[in-house]
């Protein structure tokens, strides 16, 4: 009898380090343990009221397909939003025809890699990196090439690092700023220098700007409200692609609306063909995403101030734990921490399967899956500070007790 097996591509795909321990978390919950989820970037800040209202107010008689590139009304509003953030200073103003609305920022990343690479080509990333970059590259039979950044200098990325890492098969550089998972933020000067290196090397630059609003040092923004973006850098119309999402900015992860923006007409035309293949992005969700653009700046600022408090509380709590090493991130809402263990994944499993403090435990993301270089990240975890300060402080207490208990278990085994 034939034994049906998945493709080699499917068998070799990397499981998400963010979600791969979910079975252990589910088992803990079935035992009655409360799990504090610091493994995933799911904010607990309420979604803006106008976003929820857009869903509730939909009353069309038929929920029909929309345009493959997204509705004109939403793309027009997005163009106004990006130009309002200074994109017009990067050359001609962004137009609705520069934008493809996608099913989340994830699809925008997939489309960007597919439009710039052929099988066997390379995507260049700075490790540690968002694991889906490698996941999408693998799906497209594209290789991932990585250069390593260091906690010692805040995981900063330079044009010199990019230049040294580009190989003969490198077709696209994908970077996030503010960074997931490191929290590093590129200045306008650094962003421009990296884009210039890409342009001179014939490499596309995909700038993942999903966390644009989450910056905690105003000096980095150079007087603007958000982190510097690639669309505002002049001279890179041919090589620059920006991807975005409503998930984090508006605490609307379930809306699954993102977009890809580029002034390169040929790339945009290629992406549109992919968009046509998947028919259309969610229609009602676009109405909600459109409504999200009217969120008052003061409301967004309040949320960012809240995240700054969470960051400071988590960094303080982790720093007080013996053996834990951590740096305060500049942006996004993640940090990397080095733990006094030899295998962070085993410890993360221990937290979920064997340890609890008063009926509570913590779920973290082992960091080895955020690297391509073998052996890196074995002692590190990514932590998302997406819960209230009191819960983050409780998580630090649980982590402290668990590390002591785990050391005892390791010593006796």
Examine the pLDDT at 1 and tell me if it is beyond 80. no
Residue 343 pLDDT class (50, 70, 90 cuts): very high
Residue 176 has φ and ψ, to the nearest 5°, of -110, 135
Give, to the nearest 10 degrees, the angle between helix 104-116 and helix 131-139.
50
Which CA distances in Å does 195 have to 19, 203, 231?
32, 9, 11
What span, in angstroms and rounded, lies between the C-alpha atoms of 171 and 343? 34
In 253-293, which ranges are E strands?
258-261
What span, in angstroms and rounded, lies between the C-alpha atoms of 221 and 232? 13
Examine the pLDDT at 2 and tell me if it is beyond 90. no
Which residues, 6+ apart, have CB-to-CB distance to 274 below 8 Å?
Answer: 111, 114, 115
pLDDT at 79: 98
- Output the six-digit token pair for 256: 């699954």
CB 102 within 8 A of CB 274: no
What span, in angstroms and rounded, lies between the C-alpha atoms of 351 and 25? 9
12-26, 48-62, 184-198: least confident range: 12-26
Q: pLDDT, tens digit, for every residue of 252-283?
A: 999 999 999 999 999 999 999 999 999 999 99
In 235-359, which ranges are E strands?
240-245, 258-261, 325-326, 334-338
What span, in angstroms and rounded, lies between the C-alpha atoms of 383 and 370? 12
Please state the length of the chain: 413
pLDDT at 73: 98
Q: pLDDT, tens digit, for every residue of 135-175?
A: 999 999 999 999 999 999 999 999 999 999 999 999 999 99
Examine the pLDDT at 117 and tell me if it is beyond 90. yes
pLDDT at 88: 86
Examine the pLDDT at 285 and tell me if it is beyond 90. yes
Which CA distances in Å does 223 have to 209, 220, 228, 348, 383?
18, 8, 10, 40, 29
Mean pLDDT of 340-360: 98
Give, to the nearest 10 degrees, the angle between helix 104-116 and helix 265-277.
120
pLDDT at 225: 83
Q: pLDDT, tens digit, for every residue of 201-245?
A: 999 999 999 999 999 988 888 777 899 999 999 999 999 999 999
Mean pLDDT of 110-131: 98
**pLDDT over 90 for what percent of the chain?**
91
What span, in angstroms and rounded, lies between the C-alpha atoms of 308 and 214? 9
pLDDT at 98: 98
Which residues, 6+ apart, have CB-to-CB distance to 130 below 8 Å?
Answer: 176, 180, 181, 208, 370
What span, in angstroms and rounded, lies between the C-alpha atoms of 256 and 258? 7
Mean pLDDT of the chain: 96
Going along the chain from its start, the domains and CATH numbers come out as 9-46+298-412 (3.90.1150.10), 49-292 (3.40.640.10)
Give, to the nearest 10 degrees, the angle between helix 283-292 and helix 72-84.
30
CB 115 within 8 A of CB 144: no
Q: Which residue has the higher pLDDT, 223 or 19?
A: 19
Q: pLDDT, tens digit, for every residue of 295-333?
A: 999 999 999 999 999 999 999 999 999 999 999 999 999
Residue 3 pLDDT class (50, 70, 90 cuts): confident
Mean pLDDT of 362-382: 96
């Amino acid at each position: 009898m034939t034994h049906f097996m998945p493709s080699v591509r499917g068998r070799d795909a990397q499981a998400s380090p963010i979600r791969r321990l979910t079975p252990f978390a589910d088992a803990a919950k079935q035992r009655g343990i409360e799990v504090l989820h610091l493994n995933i970037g799911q904010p607990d800040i309420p979604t803006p009221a106008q976003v929820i209202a857009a869903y509730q107010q939909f009353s069309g008689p038929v929920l029909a397909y929309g345009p493959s590139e997204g509705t004109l009304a939403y793309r027009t509003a997005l163009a106004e939003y990006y130009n309002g953030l200074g994109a017009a200073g990067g050359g001609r103003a962004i137009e609705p025809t520069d934008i493809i609305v996608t099913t989340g920022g994830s699809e925008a990343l997939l489309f960007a890699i597919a439009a710039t690479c052929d099988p066997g080509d390379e995507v260049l990333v700075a490790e540690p990196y968002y694991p889906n970059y490698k996941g999408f590259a693998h799906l497209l039979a594209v290789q991932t090439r990585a250069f390593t950044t260091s906690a010692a200098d805040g995981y900063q990325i330079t044009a010199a690092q990019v230049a040294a890492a580009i190989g003969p098969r490198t077709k696209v550089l994908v970077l996030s700023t503010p960074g997931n998972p490191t929290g590093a933020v590129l200045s306008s000067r650094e962003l421009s220098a990296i884009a210039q290196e890409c342009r001179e090397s014939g490499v596309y630059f995909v700038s993942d700007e999903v966390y644009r609003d989450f910056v905690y040092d105003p000096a980095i923004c150079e007087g603007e409200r958000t982190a510097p973006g690639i669309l505002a850098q002049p001279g890179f119309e041919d090589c620059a692609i920006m991807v975005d999402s409503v998930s984090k900015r508006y605490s609307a992860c379930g809306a699954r609306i993102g977009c890809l923006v580029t002034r390169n007409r040929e790339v945009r035309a290629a992406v549109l063909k992919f968009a046509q293949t998947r028919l259309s992005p969610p229609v009602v969700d676009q109405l909600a995403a459109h409504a999200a653009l009217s969120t008052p700046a003061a409301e967004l600022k309040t949320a960012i101030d809240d995240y700054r408090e969470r960051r400071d509380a988590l960094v303080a709590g982790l720093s007080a734990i013996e053996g834990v090493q951590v740096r305060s991130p500049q942006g996004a809402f993640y940090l990397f921490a080095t733990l006094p263990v030899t295998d962070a994944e085993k410890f993360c499993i221990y937290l979920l399967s064997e340890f609890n403090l008063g009926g509570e435990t913590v779920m973290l993301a082992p960091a080895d899956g955020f690297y391509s270089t073998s052996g890196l990240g074995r002692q590190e975890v990514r932590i998302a500070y997406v819960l209230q300060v009191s819960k983050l402080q409780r998580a630090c207490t649980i982590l402290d007790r668990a590390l002591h208990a785990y050391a005892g278990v390791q010593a006796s085994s």
